């Protein structure tokens, strides 16, 4: 395998010639409000994409049913089988277009305005998905044959946490995907500085809800104060068992097992990332801000985090209501890094909370259990992939770890594959919010980047 030569004349001309046609197809896809759970529109999106793939390629398409939205699986044949096959991933489902009054345009009518294409799914993930399809189409049109077998998985439940993706990949792993060792996940946003990025991993996620119940009903604080437990105070006791606020350290036993120091190679990559605005003046005994760019990115990418999403309890209406609340509900999330064992942390957390659970003071409900993934930086293909992206954007950088969480563990666990996450949408795409968009330049560059990724495999 080798990276592209750097001469983009053919692909540039091809994209320019097809630009209006590509945007027209983009408009048609955005017009389908494929919100996860809307069975009719999900069906329409699957039909549209299946027909598009059949129109552009001579490929094998399977529609794989699940208990939720179906998965589209497409296989593209190659001239020879000397190269290992590769897999691209994207999704066709979108978030609901809420707060319609805040949208500047119709969310389901793709609109070009001030250099951006606005519409629900424009950035997340219909625009990026079409980049994959159009990039493959460009390569096939310019070279007639693919240099390796290519597979494409398009799921319809990413916005619900990809609840059936693991099941589908496991189903495909014994036959259709058995030789896959490299997966390109095309989703997310590139850097806030406007640079395209290659991400080698992502943090994991352990999200859970704890419900405290100390009484059957709220109690009068004058009649029952000092003689009846308060769930807020019980929560405070448990919080002190979970987290050291001065040291900013999680106290769950074995929580940090498996974590490693940042290597010199990783540190060098962090130094190449764009500068950040630091607020060190806000550091205090309660929270210590990062002191420099390296510390900022190290915390985001290579350190686990402790977070409280929300707390609900008691009375916060007008006036005073002197009660002892009967219940408290709190949601936590831990972002986990390479080496941490999410199952072990779950077990240790259950063990830590066991005394309160056995006394029926609380119950715990796990909402997300996603392991971290990291390909590592000592990787020959990584260099070729970033070189391919840099054929289109010379400023592209490598982000060792995505601070957020995506279900990339499914590819590693089922296929033992290396995964590269390559976002093709701008940082300010407003995904999941009103006025979602993708810059026109980003959309067109994305097609060229996919083309370059395939070109890596050309002899």
Q: State the chain's mean pLDDT as an integer.
A: 94
Percentage of the chain exceeding pLDDT 90: 89
Cross-strand pairs, 117: 112, 438
Q: What 3-state class would DSSP assign to 310? A: strand
* pLDDT(286) > 80: no
What pLDDT band is residue 21 in, cutting at 50, 70 and 90? very high
* pLDDT(7) > 60: no
Residue 280's Cβ-count burial label (10 Å; 0-12, 13-18, 19+) is exposed
DSSP 8-state symbol, 176: T
* pLDDT(287) > 90: no
d(C-alpha 76, C-alpha 57), whole Å: 8
Condensed to tens digits (0 to 9), the pLDDT of residues 22-78 reads 999 999 999 999 998 899 999 999 999 999 999 999 899 999 999 999 999 999 999
Cross-strand pairs, 213: 327
Condensed to tens digits (0 to 9), the pLDDT of residues 174-228 reads 999 999 999 999 999 999 999 999 999 999 999 999 999 999 999 999 999 999 9
d(C-alpha 401, C-alpha 305), whole Å: 14
Token digits of residue 49:
């994409």
* pLDDT(6) > 60: no
Which residue blocks in 311-439 are alpha helix, DSSP H? 342-358, 380-390, 409-415
Q: Residue 81's pLDDT is what?
A: 75
d(C-alpha 161, C-alpha 93), whole Å: 11
Element (H, E) at 437: strand 437-439
Q: Residue 312's pLDDT is what?
A: 97
Strand order in the sheet with 305-313: 305-313, 327-336, 204-213, 362-370
**Mind giving me the DSSP string for 213-258?**
ESSSS-EEHHHHTTTS--HHHHHHHHHHHHEETTTTEE-STTTTTT
Q: Smallest Cα–Cα separation from 89: which of 167, 154, 182?
A: 154
Element (H, E) at 305: strand 305-313
Q: What 3-state class would DSSP assign to 72? A: strand
Token digits of residue 207:
């999200």
Q: What 3-state class would DSSP assign to 183? A: strand
Is residue 291 within 8 A of residue 280, CB to CB? The reply is yes
Residue 228's Cβ-count burial label (10 Å; 0-12, 13-18, 19+) is middle
The full set of domains in the chain, from first to last, is 9-202+373-455 (3.40.630.10), 204-259+303-370 (3.30.70.360)
Please compute the mean of the pLDDT values over residues 295-306 and round it to a whole number: 96
Q: Residue 350's pLDDT is what?
A: 98
CB atoms within 10 A of CB 35: 17
Is residue 188 within 8 A of residue 421, CB to CB? The reply is yes
Percentage of the chain exceeding pLDDT 70: 96
Q: Smallest Cα–Cα separation from 165: which of 194, 138, 187, 140?
A: 187
Q: Smallest Cα–Cα separation from 75: which of 151, 176, 145, 138?
A: 151
Is residue 119 within 8 A of residue 105, CB to CB? The reply is yes
Element (H, E) at 328: strand 327-336
Q: Residue 433's pLDDT is what?
A: 95
Q: Residue 5's pLDDT is what?
A: 43
Q: Residue 280's pLDDT is what?
A: 58
d(C-alpha 172, C-alpha 62), whole Å: 11
Token digits of residue 148:
């390796």
């Amino acid at each position: 395998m080798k990276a592209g030569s750097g001469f983009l004349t053919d692909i540039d001309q091809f994209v320019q010639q097809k630009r209006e046609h590509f945007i027209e197809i983009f408009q048609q896809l955005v017009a389908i409000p494929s919100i996860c759970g809307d069975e009719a529109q999900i069906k329409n999106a699957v039909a549209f994409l299946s027909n598009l793939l059949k129109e552009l390629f001579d490929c094998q398409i399977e529609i794989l049913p699940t208990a939720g939205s179906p998965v589209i699986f497409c296989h593209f044949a190659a001239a020879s089988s000397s190269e290992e096959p590769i897999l691209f991933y994207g999704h066709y489902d979108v978030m609901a277009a809420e707060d319609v009054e805040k949208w500047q345009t119709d969310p389901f009518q793709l609109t070009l305005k001030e250099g951006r294409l606005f519409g629900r799914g424009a950035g997340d993930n219909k625009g990026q998905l079409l980049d994959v399809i159009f990039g493959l189409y460009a390569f096939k049109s310019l070279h007639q044959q693919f240099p390796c077998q290519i597979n494409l998985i398009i799921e319809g439940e990413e916005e619900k946490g990809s609840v059936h993706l693991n099941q589908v990949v496991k189903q495909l792993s014994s036959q259709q995907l058995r030789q896959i060792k490299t997966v390109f996940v095309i989703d997310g946003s590139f850097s806030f500085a406007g640079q395209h990025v290659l991400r080698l991993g992502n943090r994991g996620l352990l999200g859970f809800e704890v419900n405290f119940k100390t009484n059957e009903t709220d109690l009068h604080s004058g009649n029952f104060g000092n003689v009846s437990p308060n769930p807020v105070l019980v929560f405070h006791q448990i919080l002190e068992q979970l987290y050291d606020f001065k040291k900013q350290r999680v106290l769950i036993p074995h929580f940090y097992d498996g974590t490693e120091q940042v290597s010199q190679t990783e540190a060098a990559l962090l130094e190449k990332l764009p500068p950040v605005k630091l607020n060190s003046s806000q550091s205090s005994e309660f929270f210590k801000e990062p002191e420099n760019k390296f510390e900022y990115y190290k915390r985001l990418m290579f350190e686990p985090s402790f977070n409280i999403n929300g707390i609900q309890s008691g009375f916060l209406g007008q006036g005073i209501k002197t009660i002892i609340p009967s219940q408290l509900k709190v949601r936590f999330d831990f972002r986990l890094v390479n080496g941490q064992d999410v199952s072990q942390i779950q077990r240790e957390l259950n063990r830590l909370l066991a005394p309160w659970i056995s006394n029926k003071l609380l119950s715990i409900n796990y909402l997300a259990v996603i392991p971290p993934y990291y390909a590592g930086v000592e990787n020959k293909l990584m260099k070729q992939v970033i070189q391919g992206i840099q054929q289109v954007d010379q400023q592209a950088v490598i982000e060792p770890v995505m601070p957020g969480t995506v279900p990339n563990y499914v590819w590693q666990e089922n296929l033992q594959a290396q995964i590269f996450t390559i976002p093709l949408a701008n940082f300010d795409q407003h995904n999941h919010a009103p006025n979602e968009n993708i810059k026109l330049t980003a959309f067109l560059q994305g097609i060229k980047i996919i083309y370059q990724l395939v070109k890596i495999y050309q002899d």
